[in-house]
Structure 1
Amino acid sequence: MDDLRIRAASPADLDTVLAFWKVAAEGTSISDDRDGVERLVARDPGALILAERGGDLAGTVIAGFDGWRCHLYRLAVHPGHRRRGVGAALLAAAEERFVLLGGRRADAMVLDRNEPAHHAWRAAGYARQPEWSRWVRPLRS
């Protein structure tokens, strides 16, 4: 894994990230557009974390912190790089960021139907909390 590079995304990476999510991420979101990701990177430049291997994008995670809670989104690893430590390296970078920001607990948004991801999150030490229901509503701009 010595050729794996972890870094924060820059505005120049956004089109590559959006194309990557179409291949590597399970499902899509209404915020999966250039404007949405551009706002994320402008508001919190360290939140979108990239993993690169051999100059190619191998994985992403969004590590958002609102000052109270730490939220993980879009942990996605390219199919050709899975089961090679990319996801673990991204989570370690996200958790390090949270600790530096003063975060004390992280939660992850994971689709119910994405069973392979459930195994990966459990292996990383995260526990599913079925008693909590997440309710989502798109906001008008």
Structure 2
Amino acid sequence: MDGIQEQKQMQEQVLEPIRYLPMDDSHYDDSVSLWKRMDGLVLSGADSREAISAYLERNPGLSLIASAGDKVVGTLMAGHDGRRGWLYHLAVDPKFRGRGIGSELAERCLRGLGEAGIERCYLMVMESNDGGAAFWTKAGWEKRDGILLFSRDPEKPAAGADRSGAAVSKEEKRAGSSCSC
């Protein structure tokens, strides 16, 4: 396909109506491709095909994609633990921004979480992601002060613990031993 044909195809896609669909495994490759092009969106091992598939299975119908024709132009993942909801990976293709796609994805995901009985939702924005912070603030989300976010990988022992995860006292550390009870 030459440059003129590509440009024409892109213009046609931009004019296509946007459809909002539940995210499923078939959207994985296109979603990751979009996420990798987003400034401020950080991917990790939790974004593997297997991990995303498991997340979608645990939270059926809550995560959404926006499509123009057969192209994924927006994503937002949503899920909950039965008490609080979380949103992840809002992404809108820059060529499709300014059409309310991000806002519509957020509102639809929040509606789904509300229907699941979730009363409060959270999301995380990297400190360096000024655009993301501005979007969520404009959408009515409040930055929370006074809350610290901690994380720990389940398979890693706690600081001050032996390999089994048992706490090690100061005396044991000084003696160079640890209890293996």
TM-score where L is the length of structure 2: 0.71
Is 1:47 aligned to 2:62, yes or no? yes
Distance 2:140 2:42 in 1: 23
1:42 match: secondary structure = helix
User: Which residue, out of 14, 20, 27, partners 2:34?
Assistant: 20
| Structure 1 contact 62–74 (Cα < 8 Å) conserved | yes
Decide which structure has the larger Cα Rg and report it.
2
| Structure 2 contact 84–121 (Cα < 8 Å) conserved | yes
With 20-29 and 50-59 compared, the bigger mean Cα shift is at 20-29
- Give unmatched runs, 5+ long, in structure 2: 1-14, 156-181
1:52 match: secondary structure = strand
Structure 1 outlier segments of 4+, above 4 Å = none
Percent of residue pairs bearing the same amino acid type: 28
User: Which residue, out of 10, 28, 46, partners 2:24?
Assistant: 10
Output one character per residue of 1:66-100: Cα deviation in whole Å (capped at 9) or x when no partner: 11001111111112122221100100111110111
Match of 1:85 in 2: 100
Match of 1:132 in 2: 147
Deviation at 1:2, TM superposition (A): 8.2
Letter in 2 for 1:70: G
TM-score where L is the length of structure 1: 0.89
Distance 1:59 1:36 in 2: 20
| Bigger relative contact order (CA 8 A; separation at least 6) | 1
- Give unmatched runs, 5+ long, in structure 1: none
With 44-53 and 58-67 compared, the bigger mean Cα shift is at 44-53
Is 1:99 aligned to 2:129, yes or no? no
Letter in 2 for 1:54: G
Distance 2:142 2:71 in 1: 31
Aligned length: 141
RMSD: 2.0
Deviation at 1:12, TM superposition (A): 1.6
